[in-house]
Structure 1
Amino acid sequence: MGPTEEPQTRADLREMTATLLARHLPAHRAQELDEQGMFDRELWRELGTSGLLGIAAPEDSGGSGGTVGDAIAVTEEIARVLPSLAVDYVLSGMVTRMLSEPDLEAPASWLADAASGSQIFSYGLSEPDVGTDLLALRTRASRTDDGWLISGQKTWISLASEADLIFVLCRTDPATAEHTSRGLSLIAVPTDQPGVQVRRVHLAGMRAAMTCEVTLDNAVAPPDHLIGERGRGMRILARTLDVERLMAAAISLGIGRAAAELHQEYACQREAFGRPIGALQAVQHPLADSAAELAAARALIEATTVRLEQGQSTHPQAAMAKLVSSETTARIVDRGMRALGAMGLATESRMQMYFRDARLQLFSPISNEMTRNLLGESLGLPRSY
């Protein structure tokens, strides 16, 4: 098996995912969900029934027992059809992977419910004035006889409008000079209560990712909804960072792949001066560049995934994969828009959806500027923030 070839089981998983999406999410339905900013719960349950929502969770907990590489492959296939859904899929996967950790005590039903799609979970991390610098967050939680009271505001929270639980990062204890990340905890907050107000934030891209602002006003959470050890929420999140960045890279790869395919299809069909425009070097060369850059991005993602699955450190490699894939895809969709011309801007064209959605990947889940800062530090350069 060559260095860029996938195991047959993973290739079969890709084919199964593509077949399921072709049946339940054809192109016209994907565009409809994007245009209307809708979430399809029936489709979500279908992803659960097929085993895709719990792909990386243990079988004895209701998951499919797959690997991170399997989840990355599924993410790419979903992003190729509807990038917004891939964002939600990655978010849900982060929760299932967290709940799979053997040292985190949480109700056993949560993992099975998330994997089946019967319940939907979200993360509440970012705040209006807090993005990358999570240590500065202002949301507070206090312990009571009955559990927890949480107050604060979260924003850019995907899937919050559909969620049954939001895993909120909040301050439960003061930070210490030696350990500034201590004092932050993850608490699962039920959304069906007066203390939780959710407002949709409508974006130009990723319209169907259900991005929201969440206001917590003495929201109540039972005592057993604390995830892991009190004050160690950042330690829990730190485990997910490399996987999250690889998943973001997979979303970019799926978008870039779809845009390049659409670009090539148009180049073969559109005629000018008596022949397909794909016969012109000015059209061929950008497509050749896109094919080469996608192959390079895929190789970086796959090599990093192998390292991660072998238990090796992947901090710089995962950051590089996120950076390279998102920048590559931004170029690819721009080339596609230029080739399609006015047709690329038409709402009936999928290219405009890919163009809009690709922009989010440049700054989510971490901006490429901050990613470069992290990489600079990994090279031994002085810390810039």
Structure 2
Amino acid sequence: MWFDPTPEQQMLRQMVRDFVDRECPKLKARDLEASEEFPADLAAAIAAAGLNGIGIPEEYGGQGGDIIDQVIVCEELSRSLAGLAWLWGINVWSAAHAVLAHGTPEQRAEYLPRIADGTMRFAFALTEPGGGTDVLRAMRSTATPVEGGYLLRGNKIWSTTAHVADRIMVTVRTSPSDKPSRGLSVFLVRRDSSGLTATPIPKIGMRSLGSCEVSFDDVFVPAEDLLGEVDQGWRQITGSLNSERIMVAAMCTGILRAVLEDALEYAGQRHAFGRPIGQMQSIQHSIADMAMKLDTATLHTHRAAWLEQQGRPCGVEATMAKCLASEYAVEAADQGIQILGGYGYAQEYNMQRYWRDARLYRIGPITNEMARNYIGENLGLPRSF
């Protein structure tokens, strides 16, 4: 089966591509990433173009649409922005998806229109310093009931844009339990709360989207800022895992397309030994490999998105798409650096940026090793963790 886009989806892709080429072409994206400053103007431009509203129902000020539409937007943004596309994804996918699925009518009415118009930014805080993949057993942060709400204590790490967010979606333990997945709750915490500190961590990629360590020192959270049911936080999170993996696959697919475009352009312009290097068989083979990887990643990503949109099981397919697309993007970017030679190592070219950003997605939000464990278990193999 081929997942033919509808005319509306074709128009959406062209609209986003035109926006990207006009507002954030690759050279501008390179400079934004290198600045290590949060790109507030770009965030405003994305919101003004209506892209934050993709997937948010019209009744809440959004543009409507589904996960396939979000995949299209993510692919086209990532084609230039690479990992900086998460600037869009955190709000539209992580925050809006969670509020729409688990928020009260009051929370939906308050947050979704402001996500759609770009006047409210979110961050997500789940992982803890000793956690990584073993996030549940490492969960030490707690929320203790007090009059009118809860007191949060603990530390989170790798919370992207927490230093500039208006709200941080935080998962903490609210009840003790012998089973690590039970007794967790999710809160929408105001970043300006007393006792909350967010500190960016220096890292090799996505440098203008600060990924932060966040400390909660008796942070008071009103009861109305609980998202969903108390002690049911992990069920809420797992309900969105497939969509998250699909969106990461879409981001890596967009990066793959950028790698292929830049490699083709350079191979046509660069001459060596009296001819363009694109005439050399080894270069042609490398670029052909990139094209095959792009098509494979695209098919896996759109298959998983289609299954999700149809309401059909897609855990294995979404995990495969994430795993393959992230590895293909890293491999292609590394080969792209090789094709550019010394220029591939220079920051004035984008190939190194694609590699740095794509490399993260072999690690998060789930490591590709753990992804393979999950796929193996679903093939009938014994659980390995």
Q: Which deviates more from structure 2 when the two are superposed, residues 351-360 or residues 310-319?
A: 351-360
- What is the one-letter code of the residue matched to 2:123? S
TM-score by length of 2: 0.96
**1:318 corresponds to which residue?**
318
**1:279 corresponds to which residue?**
279
CA-CA distance at 1:49 after TM superposition: 2.4
**1:183 corresponds to which residue?**
183
- Secondary structure in 1 aligned to 2:189? strand
CA distance in 2, matches of 1:159, 1:76: 21
Instruction: Please list every run of 5 or more consecutive structure 2 residues that lacks an aligned counterpart in the other structure.
Output: none
- Secondary structure in 2 aligned to 1:82? helix
Q: Which deviates more from structure 2 when the two are superposed, residues 97-106 or residues 349-358?
A: 97-106
Q: 2:43 touches 2:87 (CA, 8 Å); kept in 1?
A: no
CA-CA distance at 1:364 after TM superposition: 1.2
Q: Which deviates more from structure 2 when the two are superposed, residues 12-21 or residues 372-381?
A: 12-21
1:15 corresponds to 2:14? yes
Q: 1:84 touches 1:207 (CA, 8 Å); kept in 2?
A: no
- What is the one-letter code of the residue matched to 2:177? A
CA-CA distance at 1:306 after TM superposition: 1.0
CA-CA distance at 1:83 after TM superposition: 1.9
**1:379 corresponds to which residue?**
379
- What is the one-letter code of the residue matched to 1:267? A
**2:176 corresponds to which residue?**
174
- What is the one-letter code of the residue matched to 2:213? E
1:194 corresponds to 2:189? no
Q: 1:362 touches 1:368 (CA, 8 Å); kept in 2?
A: yes
Q: 1:193 touches 1:219 (CA, 8 Å); kept in 2?
A: yes
Q: 2:102 touches 2:228 (CA, 8 Å); kept in 1?
A: no
- What is the one-letter code of the residue matched to 1:110? Y
CA distance in 2, matches of 1:104, 1:248: 27
**1:64 corresponds to which residue?**
63
- What is the one-letter code of the residue matched to 1:308? E
Q: Which deviates more from structure 2 when the two are superposed, residues 104-113 or residues 131-140?
A: 104-113
- Secondary structure in 1 aligned to 2:235? helix
CA distance in 1, matches of 2:262, 2:212: 31
CA distance in 2, matches of 1:365, 1:245: 8
**1:163 corresponds to which residue?**
165
Q: 1:105 touches 1:228 (CA, 8 Å); kept in 2?
A: no
Q: 1:188 touches 1:225 (CA, 8 Å); kept in 2?
A: yes
Q: 1:84 touches 1:208 (CA, 8 Å); kept in 2?
A: no
Instruction: Please list every run of 5 or more consecutive structure 1 residues that lacks an aligned counterpart in the other structure.
Output: none
Q: 1:105 touches 1:227 (CA, 8 Å); kept in 2?
A: no
CA distance in 2, matches of 1:142, 1:105: 25
CA-CA distance at 1:105 after TM superposition: 5.0
TM-score by length of 1: 0.96
**1:296 corresponds to which residue?**
296
- Structure-2 change in CA distance of 1:197 and 1:94 (3 Å): same
- Secondary structure in 2 aligned to 1:65? coil
CA-CA distance at 1:94 after TM superposition: 1.5
- What is the one-letter code of the residue matched to 2:165? A
CA-CA distance at 1:131 after TM superposition: 2.2
CA-CA distance at 1:132 after TM superposition: 2.3
**1:109 corresponds to which residue?**
110
- Structure-2 change in CA distance of 1:214 and 1:255 (3 Å): same
- What is the one-letter code of the residue matched to 1:9? E
**1:344 corresponds to which residue?**
344
**1:266 corresponds to which residue?**
266
**After superposition, what is the alpha-carbon deviation per residue over 1:272-292, rounded to whole angstroms, capped at 9, x for unaligned?**
121111111011011111111
- Secondary structure in 2 aligned to 1:89? helix
- Secondary structure in 1 aligned to 2:136? helix
CA-CA distance at 1:4 after TM superposition: 4.3
**After superposition, what is the alpha-carbon deviation per residue over 1:291-344, rounded to whole angstroms, capped at 9, x for unaligned?**
111101111111111111111000100000001101111111111111100011
- Secondary structure in 2 aligned to 1:160? coil
Percent identity of paired positions between Structure 1 and Structure 2: 38
Q: 1:206 touches 1:360 (CA, 8 Å); kept in 2?
A: no
CA distance in 2, matches of 1:88, 1:220: 27
- Secondary structure in 2 aligned to 1:207? coil
CA-CA distance at 1:13 after TM superposition: 1.0
CA-CA distance at 1:247 after TM superposition: 0.5
1:25 corresponds to 2:24? yes
- Secondary structure in 1 aligned to 2:231? coil
CA-CA distance at 1:170 after TM superposition: 0.3
Q: 2:201 touches 2:212 (CA, 8 Å); kept in 1?
A: yes
- Secondary structure in 2 aligned to 1:101? helix
CA-CA distance at 1:46 after TM superposition: 2.2
- Structure-2 change in CA distance of 1:3 and 1:66 (3 Å): same
CA distance in 1, matches of 2:377, 2:27: 45
- Structure-2 change in CA distance of 1:60 and 1:102 (3 Å): farther
- Secondary structure in 2 aligned to 1:198? strand
**1:41 corresponds to which residue?**
40
Tell me the C-alpha RMSD between the 2 structures.
1.4
- What is the one-letter code of the residue matched to 2:247? M
CA distance in 1, matches of 2:60, 2:251: 27
CA distance in 2, matches of 1:237, 1:115: 22
1:233 corresponds to 2:236? no
- What is the one-letter code of the residue matched to 1:229? E
Q: 2:186 touches 2:226 (CA, 8 Å); kept in 1?
A: yes
- What is the one-letter code of the residue matched to 1:182? R
CA-CA distance at 1:29 after TM superposition: 2.0
